[in-house]
Amino acid sequence: MEAVPEKRLALFAQMEERYEKKDVDYFVSLITHEDYVVRTRATCILVDFGGEDKIPYIAKVLKHDPNELVRHEAAFSLGQMGYRSAIPHLEDATLHDPSMFVRHEAAIALGVVGAKDARHVLEQALNDPSVPVVESAIVALSNIQFMEKLSKNEKFAKLTGG
């Protein structure tokens, strides 16, 4: 269900106030809001707050949100956060999410994290029925290989990963 634009904008104003106060609990409560736009924004804000303690919340969004765009944003965000504790959640999404859009982003995120442990999952993704997922797995595997063998600059390696 989509919120009326005026209602959404009023909520965004409130969100901005809470963002300035770094109110993590408030944004955690919004990841189950009825409006997918609000859920997407709340996910991004939690990531912006930083910290590995946010991984379980973002992983919950990735696993359970009914909207594939929101789940895609969660996969992207987990990759950008770069924590190894996100790997199992990204692996699950790469192999099992019903949306090609999410499987593709989860595979890319594994490459961004540089998850050598996820190589077996990315190799399985090479058999995905969706070409973009297969191509994403190739990009991720290539980045992992690059990070293992050649890269001296971790930031650069993550930038080339997706």
Specify the pTM: 0.88
The domain in which residue 93 lies consists of 5-159
Q: Give the model's pLDDT for residue 131.
A: 98
Question: Which residue reads 């919340």 in tokens?
Answer: 57
Q: Give the model's pLDDT for residue 117.
A: 86
pLDDT by residue for the chain (162 residues), tens digit each? 455 778 899 999 999 999 999 999 999 999 999 999 999 999 999 999 999 999 999 999 999 999 999 999 999 999 999 999 999 999 999 999 999 999 999 999 999 887 688 999 999 999 999 999 999 999 999 988 887 777 555 666 555 554
Cα–Cα distance for residue pair 141/115, rounded to 1 Å: 9
* Tokens matching residue 91: 């692996």
Report whether 114 contacts 161 (CB < 8 A). yes
Q: Give the model's pLDDT for residue 152.
A: 59
- Provide the number of structural domains found in the chain: 1
Q: Give the model's pLDDT for residue 105.
A: 98
Q: Give the model's pLDDT for residue 162.
A: 46
Q: Give the model's pLDDT for residue 143.
A: 86
Report whether 35 contacts 66 (CB < 8 A). no
Cα–Cα distance for residue pair 84/88, rounded to 1 Å: 8
Whichever domain contains 126, its CATH number is 1.25.10.10
- What lies within 8 Å, CB to CB, of 5 at 6+ separation is none
Q: For residue 138, which of 99, 94, 107, 100 has the smallest C-alpha distance?
A: 107
Cα–Cα distance for residue pair 37/40, rounded to 1 Å: 5
